[in-house]
Structure 1
Amino acid sequence: MKKDIESSISDLESVTSNTEKTLDKLIQASEKADASSSSTLFGAAGGIIGALAGALIAPYIALSALLLSTPLTALGIIGGILVYRGRNGIKLEKMIAQNRIACDEVLDRINSLPENAPQDVIDGLWDNYNILNGAYRNQAAIALSPKEKSKQGLMLPGGSKKTLNK
C-alpha cells in the first residue's frame, strides 16, 4: 500500500512537471504569436486548416498525405491572409498599385521633358502628379475611416464626384 502511494505521488509529480513544461512552451508560443501581425496569424491558421484537411482527405482519395497536405497548406495560408484582408483591403491594395503606376508614369514624363519644354506643360504635369498623390492620401483616409465605408472608388480631391478607377 505504501509503495502504491509513493508510486502515485511520483506519477503525480511527473505529470505536474510535464504540465509546467507544456504550459511554459504554450506561453512562449502565445507570446510569439502575440508579437505577430494579424495577417500572419490568419495565414498560420489557414495553413493548419489546410494541413489537417490534407491529412484527413488523403486516405479517401488514395493519395499520400504529404502530397495532398503540402499544396492544401499553401492554399490555406494564402486563403487565411486573403480572408484577413477582406474585399476592401484587396481593393485598397489594387487602388494603391494603380495610383503608383499612374504617379510613376507622370514622373517619367516629367523627367523625359526636354530642357526647353514650355513651363505650362511642366506645371500641368506636376499638377497631375500632385492630384494623383492627393487622391491617394484622400483614398487612404477614406478606406481607413469606418464612417466612410460606403464610399467606393479612388476619389479625386476637391469634392469631385469623379473617381480614378471607375
Structure 2
Amino acid sequence: MTDGHNDEKLQLERAAVREFIRLYNGRNSVKLRLLYQHDRPDAVLQDSRGSKIGLEITHLFYDATEAKALLGRRDGSITGPSGPITLAHLIAKLNELIRRKESKKQAYDPAYPISLLIRNASPTFRLSEIWAAREHIRKPNDSFLDTWFLTRDGTPDWMLVNLDDL
C-alpha cells in the first residue's frame, strides 16, 4: 500500500472510532477513550475502569464502484452496478465482511478482548431499511466481544447498533 492509502485508511478509521466512542459513551456508564491506533486491531481503547479493548474497524460499501466514487477515485474505467441496486446485495456484503473479519481475528493480539466496528459508508440504504431486513444479517459468532454497526438513517447523524442483539 502507498503512504497516501495508509493515511486515508487511518483517517477513515479515526473518524469511525471517534463517532463510535461518542455514541457509546452517550449511552453507557463505563466510558471509552482512544489510547492509540495500530494494526490488528485497528485501535486500542481503554474503559473508565482501566481495561483495554481492541477495536477492529471496517467499512461497508455497496460495491467497489461506490467505494471508489465516495473516496474520490473516479477514473474513466469505473462503471455503475451491473444490475439493479438491491438491499439484498448490501446485506450480502455486510455478511461477507463479518465472516472475513471473524476469520482474520485469530492473528490479533489476545491480550485483551476485541470488538468489531462496521461503519456503513454506503449512502444507498438507511438504517431503517437495513434493520427491517435484519433476519438476513448473519449473526456474529463469539470471535468478537461485540459487533457494532455504525450507520445513518437519512440524516447526517450517525447511529450505533449492536449486531449481537439480532
Q: Relative to total residues, which structure has the larger helix share, 1 or 2?
A: 1
Larger Rg: 1
TM over 0.5: no
**What TM-score results when the alignment is normalised by the length of structure 1?**
0.24
**What TM-score results when the alignment is normalised by the length of structure 2?**
0.24
Q: Relative to total residues, which structure has the larger strand share, 1 or 2?
A: 2
